[in-house]
Structure formats: structure tokens, C-alpha cells
Structure 1
């Protein structure tokens, strides 16, 4: 079965919001439901995968057409993005370091 035939079949028979793996890790095909005047359609979803090939995020980066895909390629290649991500990682607290309310020190007013 050709790629076009496989995609046409998935569009016709797939469930709304169904995600199909592709032969490329992290690249999925997502079936979007009918919405207002738009008929059901397919989108590419880019989503990092775990060691089993399953997506690690609930929703990845979705794109519907070549212009949008090209824009994402340009944005991801932007040089300043690396520095921005490094700074965000420095500013963000580490996972699991949030204090529970009962662990926080209570403000006491000295009289």
C-alpha cells in the first residue's frame, strides 16, 4: 500500500484524535475531527519519544501545511533559542524541589 493510500485510509477510518506512529521516531500522524466548516483532516505531530517509541508529551508540535512546517524549521534553527533555553533551565526550579505548605516556614510577627 502506498503512503497516499495509507493516509487516505487513516483519514477515512481512523478515530478522531487518533495518533499513528510512522517509521521515523518522534513523527506521528494525527487525525483531527471535523471542526466548524473544516472537514476531518490529518496533521503531522512532532513529539519526542521514550525508549519504546511512545510520545513523551500529551501533545507535540502539530503542523498542517508546508508553509507552517517551513516556519517551524526556521524557528527551531534560530540561534538565540539555545541561549534562551539555557537561561530558562537555570531560572526554573528543579523537579521535585517544591516545598509542601506544611514544610514552609510560617511567618511570625515579633511583638
Structure 2
């Protein structure tokens, strides 16, 4: 039995849209994080990604699969990281650390930007 995903693993106060570093679409990095600990079913992914619609999550999963970052197999269907997808975890860790180190600067820039 695997450990369930934490429904609050993505802090709502920490919007992913603020980070200038993004892998794939808005949800791809979070999907990769959800799969870091092993394969997951669609319904399991929906728990921490509850703010994304089923249609959008499906589109993101299909794109990640097309790009070779995840695979979809089994009955019931489970999604898992490929070796290529797993190779993104280190760069994602570095990007997250950078964003944490520069969070205040990012917020200041967004607040003072005319766009």
C-alpha cells in the first residue's frame, strides 16, 4: 500500500504562476512532483491538484506522455515517470531553491510591473 498524496502538498499561498521557471504547461511540474514517489492513478493526482479541471489535467498528462516524461499503463491505468521524466527532478529542485531564494524579489517585480 502506497502513501496517499498530501492534499495540501502545493501551498495555495505560493502560486506556481509567480515562478519564471516552468516545465511544460502550468500543471506539468506539479504532476511530475506527484509522480516522484511512484506511480499514481488519475484519481490520486486529483487530490493535490484539485484546482485543475479533469480536462486540463488530462491534457497535461497527454502532453507529458507525448514528450516522453511519463508513461501510462495497466488496468486500472497508472501514470509513472520515465527515466527522462525522473531526470527533471534535480533541475526542478534547483529551480525551486532559486525561486525560494529570490521570492521577495519576484514579488516586488510583479507588484511594480506595469503589465
Measured against the shorter chain, the TM-score band is 0.3 to 0.5
Rg: which structure is higher?
1
TM-score (norm 2): 0.32
TM-score (norm 1): 0.33
